[in-house]
A and B are shown apart, each in its own frame.
Chain A
């Protein structure tokens, strides 16, 4: 739960100048833009949309570095000795394993985990209408949730305020990536991406192969040092001859415990067709003694569950990163207006996130002198759909920021924080203020960052 204190935000803190924005919006967008350039989530795209990565991929280089360094040391220092003393297959096996590990890791990181594109404004309006209509009845379930029956089990579908739709079952909204992800497992910082429906099998093969690799290297290094110290030398001497082995030993020793544990945990999850999210939240903990679990998605057969999760058909990416946006001349009136400063909507914004947004804003403007991050991404998406629909969320100058992005093919760190903050605000404006919003599930602090963002934390003023 966020700490929500009401605080007036000083508009002068924002150093955005409206005049520069207007100059950009005078010119029309000349070239065809791809959909990834206007993607509203916090993702980064490379190779013209072929590669997708979460915004914070901080630990991925560390993971890659550790693997590459360990393997490199292994091949350079241990393999020559072991080849001569044992067999030539050792570097062969090691090579195959490392290749598999690195490929799986890169596929996990760069694959779209199953991101659900956000609802178009027409859809969102339609859903709102339906929610409003179904309000009055004797039994009133908490608003913004829908109950359905799957395999005789009651499943609650929650409404996602950011994506403006009812989340399909097993879908969760990742706050780090600001996307709804299908069959959301967890957001893995080591891999730098969410793990969801489309990349779970890559993630699983990554951790399994990594377990084998670390065990293999560990075994080989121990054998190496043992063999060396057997030739009439002491252990200390053997270590002095091959210091790299100690480094490898240390790395492998510490990673083996966590990796093996993780592999075991995920093997259990795969066998019972659960996600980390569901397991931690205890969604299907058995309430009845007669059944093993109340999981409605399980096929109650370990082999079937494994096959379905790991070898099932590969669903396509729903966000169509490389598709072209239809060229629609956006009405200049909406673009030149800057977003109204959050003063009026303060009750809907938590101080902490606003401060965050402002800090990042100031920093980004100072360091790179970039475009005013006026949520450029959301506007073109809405405009493209239909000129008739007046999207409530769009008031910001889009082309200013997007034009600069159009110039660079590898978009790094597009202006997300402000966009995110605005998304939240706008969703509250469009919601019926009479609704009392349901309290969110408590966010658990574990090593893996869960995706259940506290979409709603407070009651909007009537």
Chain B
């Protein structure tokens, strides 16, 4: 008989979806409302901080300012061929966001049996939080 610890596969209990907040228009922003399913696992403040940071990062990616206009004009003048060799500002911020999410997962969410999924993998529709049910007693993280 194999002990459960060997499997090391926490069963997925449920998934919580944090939806988009469209009250400010079409910009990427997620609702900061604390889902009730996470009450037992996570502090409300930590959750809000995570989501707020994500919102700020997305706002930075989509910020309209001199730099983004310059990038746009330069792209237009080069007949948009410059995107073949250069990474856009948005893509740079997306990388920053995925690093942040990885960091948050390691420090805060994984120890509580949760997993944040990068919204870009869900088409920027939702922030998916997977709640793991920790069945194996010995291998608690």
Contact = CB atoms under 8 A, between A and B. Distances in A.
Interface in A165-214: 165, 168-170, 182-183, 201-202, 205
A307 B90 contact: no
B72 interface: yes
B22 A313 contact: no
Contacts of B91: 316
B4 interface: no
A107 interface: yes
Instruction: Give the one of A116, A313, A314 with max B CB within 10 A.
Output: A313
Contacts of B3: none
A428 interface: no
Contacts of A103: 79-81
B62 interface: yes
B22 A99 contact: no
Contacts of B88: 313-314, 316
Contacts, number: 101
B124 interface: yes
Interface in A304-347: 304, 307-308, 310-316, 318-320
Given A122-B15, A123-B17, A169-B26, A312 B72 contact: yes
Contact of A319 (B12, B94, B123): B123
A149 interface: yes
B25 A150 contact: yes
Given A122-B15, A168-B20, A201 B76 contact: yes
Interface stretch (B39-47, B48-56, B63-71, B99-107): B63-71
- Interface size, B (range): 35 or more
Among A155, A308, A314, the one with the most B-chain Cβ atoms within 10 Å of its Cβ is A314
A306 to B, nearest CB: 10
Nearest to B12: A388
A316 B94 contact: yes
Nearest to A116: B123
Contacts of B17: 122-123, 126-127
A364 to B, nearest CB: 30
A308 B62 CA distance: 10
Given A122-B15, A314-B75, A169 B125 contact: no
Dominant secondary structure of chain B at its interface with chain A: mixed
Contact of B90 (A155, A315, A319): A315
A56 interface: no
A311 B73 contact: yes
Contact of A313 (B26, B68, B79, B80): B68
A339 to B, nearest CB: 26
A297 interface: yes
A318 B124 contact: yes
A100 interface: yes
B120 A308 contact: no
Contacts of A165: 125
B88 to A, nearest CB: 5
Contacts of A143: none
B2 interface: no
Nearest to B21: A148
A99 B68 contact: no
Interface string B93-113: 010000000000000000000
Interface of B: 11-12, 15, 17, 20, 22-26, 61-64, 68-69, 71-73, 75-76, 79-81, 83, 88-91, 94, 120-126, 128
21 contacts: A103-B81, A107-B80, A122-B15, A122-B128, A123-B122, A126-B17, A149-B23, A168-B20, A201-B72, A296-B25, A311-B72, A311-B76, A313-B63, A313-B89, A314-B71, A314-B72, A316-B88, A316-B94, A318-B124, A386-B12, A388-B12
Given A117-B123, A126-B15, A313-B64, 17 more contacts: A107-B80, A123-B126, A123-B128, A168-B20, A169-B26, A182-B26, A201-B72, A296-B25, A307-B64, A307-B69, A311-B71, A312-B72, A313-B68, A313-B71, A313-B89, A314-B90, A319-B123
